[in-house]
Amino acid sequence: MANNFSSYTTPIPKVDLEIIKTADKTSVRLQEELTYNFIYRNLGPDIATNVVMSDLLPAGFQFISASQNGLPITVQLSDGGSGRTLILFQLGAIQPGFEGTLSIRTKIINPSAGQIENQVTIQSREVDPEISNNRSSAFVEVIIPGQGPSYNKYVVRTGGEFYSGLAMLILALVSGVYLLSFQPNKTSDKNQTTNGKN
């Protein structure tokens, strides 16, 4: 009787999804556009189903449009909190070995100055043993005039008169040089010394 029974274990499908994210610029200013580009793959061995890619835009970045393999697509937008927009791509089923591209166009509206990271993630219904390549980040430097300069207070003597002023160092991206802005304020006493004593 024992030989009349057999067992069979259904194999658990496994996939290896990969996502790579880049930006078309290394730095941006207010009101400029920035495009994030993505390459996604299913490295196998099985088909990936219910694949979703999610991207939480940084605060101050406005979503404009999205495309898949060069064609416009509709995405799901929701409030990500703290002025951020969550973008969801419903990619459906992806065959082993398939590679596709996605793009997101954004506009810089009211961000913080400095280096801004934007991370994307991809996942499916199946088990993915290699999760290190399920996320990718792109870094962009946001330049806002008047934010982040070095300030130095100093005293300058010109033509026998003392002037005090505020030196502001501003990074001028367009020319690729540093611009030094100095607004002097003339003192009331021509013979005044730096320590305020005659």
Mean pLDDT of the chain: 80
Structure tokens at 60: 């101050």
Q: What angle do CA 184, 187, 193 make, to 5 degrees?
A: 110
With cut-offs at 50, 70 and 90, classify the pLDDT of residue 50.
very high
Q: Tell whether the model's pLDDT for residue 85 goes beyond 50.
A: yes
Q: What is d(CA 194, CA 163) in angstroms, rounded to the nearest whole number?
A: 10
Q: What is d(CA 66, CA 100) in angstroms, rounded to the nearest whole number?
A: 14
- Whether this prediction's pTM lies above 0.75 is answered by no
- In this predicted structure, what is the pLDDT of residue 32? 97
pLDDT in tens, 133-179: 999 999 999 999 887 433 333 333 333 333 344 444 343 434 444 44
Q: What is d(CA 113, CA 40) in angstroms, rounded to the nearest whole number?
A: 30
Would you call the peptide bond into 111 cis, given omega within 30 degrees of 0 as the criterion?
no
Q: What is d(CA 186, CA 3) in angstroms, rounded to the nearest whole number?
A: 106
Most confident of 3-7, 22-26, 191-195: 22-26
Q: Tell whether the model's pLDDT for residue 20 goes beyond 70.
A: yes
pLDDT in tens, 93-146: 999 999 999 999 999 999 999 999 999 999 999 999 999 999 999 999 999 988
pLDDT in tens, 23-45: 999 999 999 999 999 999 999 99
With cut-offs at 50, 70 and 90, classify the pLDDT of residue 5.
low
Every domain range in the chain assigned CATH 2.60.40.1530: 17-143
Q: What is d(CA 14, CA 129) in angstroms, rounded to the nearest whole number?
A: 7
- In this predicted structure, what is the pLDDT of residue 147? 73
- In this predicted structure, what is the pLDDT of residue 10? 76
48 vs 82: which has the higher pLDDT: 48
CATH class of 17-143: mainly beta
Residue length, the chain?
A: 198
Compute, in degrees rounded to 10, the torsion defined by CA atoms 70, 131, 123, 129. Answer: 120
- In this predicted structure, what is the pLDDT of residue 97? 97
Is residue 125 within 8 A of residue 141, CB to CB? The reply is no
Q: Tell whether the model's pLDDT for residue 185 goes beyond 50.
A: no
Q: Tell whether the model's pLDDT for residue 79 goes beyond 60.
A: yes
Distances in whole angstroms, Cα of residue 147 to Cα of each of 28, 85, 111: 14, 24, 12
